[in-house]
Amino acid sequence: RKEVEQDPGPFNVPEGATVAFNCTYSNSASQSFFWYRQDCRKEPKLLMSVYSSGNEDGRFTAQLNRASQYISLLIRDSKLSDSATYLCVVNEAGGGNKLTFGTGTQLKVEL
Amino acid sequence: NAGVMQNPRHLVRRRGQEARLRCSPMKGHSHVYWYRQLPEEGLKFMVYLQKENIIDESGMPKERFSAEFPKEGPSILRIQQVVRGDSAAYFCASSPPGTPEKLFFGSGTQLSVL
């Protein structure tokens, strides 16, 4: 089983739609969680951290369910510029500063 | 404040040659990480360094790969006797003190082995 699993997609959605991605992780002792965004052939960039209480940043909402070991990202009112690959990232307990990346979910927002 | 600087952006090597990838962290960052991304795969951790110290190299292949972060100058990822399977994007990242889990990535070096 992969340490961090994501549906690769692609998710093709019209502009203005709401889309949600899920991610599961295998290590129940994992401590911190993030969503990164990666545009084609470019470097990953931190989108947001994910907190146990859930957190929101503009059109983006992240949630963590420790009991089920999954993380979600909700994007409201999708823009064309949201088209990218979204990477679920986990900092595992005892892993020091080593982040484990999922393979990513590809989002395509269309007119 | 310049971001994480990696060079070269593209590197072409023939099988058996050596590849040297360079990374300068963001100003004020003392932690450097190297990740590798193979086509259609996620980023895989390779090594974590601080100045003059390798902290975690659990993701490094046992042979041909080495990394350093000297007191002066950039971090270097060195691949000796490259093979076709080494072809990948190599990303360097740095993080600030206090929030080591928040990585800032460089633009990467695309290594192609002919």
- CA atoms within 13 A of residue A98's CA, in its CB half-sphere: 21
Q: What is the pLDDT of residue B33?
A: 94
* Interface contact A98-B102, CB threshold 8 A: no
Higher-pLDDT residue of B90 and B102 is: B90
Q: Please check whether residue B38 touches A, CB under 8 A.
A: no
Between A53 and B65, the higher pLDDT residue? B65
- CB of B102 within 8 Å of any CB in chain A? yes
- The answer, for A14 touching chain B at a CB cutoff of 8 Å, is no
* Cross-chain Cβ contact A99/B103 below 8 Å: yes
Closest CA to A89 of B56, B44, B55: B44
Could you tell me the pLDDT band of residue A35, with boundaries at 50, 70 and 90?
very high
Assign B101 a pLDDT band (cuts: 50, 70, 90): confident
Residues 6+ away with beta carbon under 8 Å from A9: A105, A106, A107
pLDDT level of residue B1 (50, 70, 90 thresholds):
low
> Model confidence at A52, in pLDDT bands (50, 70, 90)?
confident
Residues A54-63: what's their mean pLDDT?
Answer: 95
The pairing of strands B31-37 and B88-95 is: antiparallel
The yes-or-no verdict on residue A95 having pLDDT over 60 is no
**Residue of A32, A45, A102 with shortest CB distance to B105:** A45
Q: What is the pLDDT of residue A92?
A: 74
Q: How far apart are CA B74 and CA B83, in angstroms?
A: 25
Q: Using one digit for the tens of pLDDT, what is the confidence trace for B30-75?
A: 889 999 998 778 899 999 999 889 999 999 999 999 999 999 899 9
Angle at B62 between CA B84 and CA B78, to 5 degrees: 60
pLDDT at A82: 98
A31 pLDDT band, cuts 50/70/90, is: confident
CA distance B78 to B86: 12
Interface probe for B, chosen from A98, A101, A103 (most Cβ of B below 10 Å), is: A98
Chain A residues with CB-CB distance to B44 below 8 A: 101
A55-65 b/e with 16+ CB inside 10 Å = b? eeeeebbbbbe
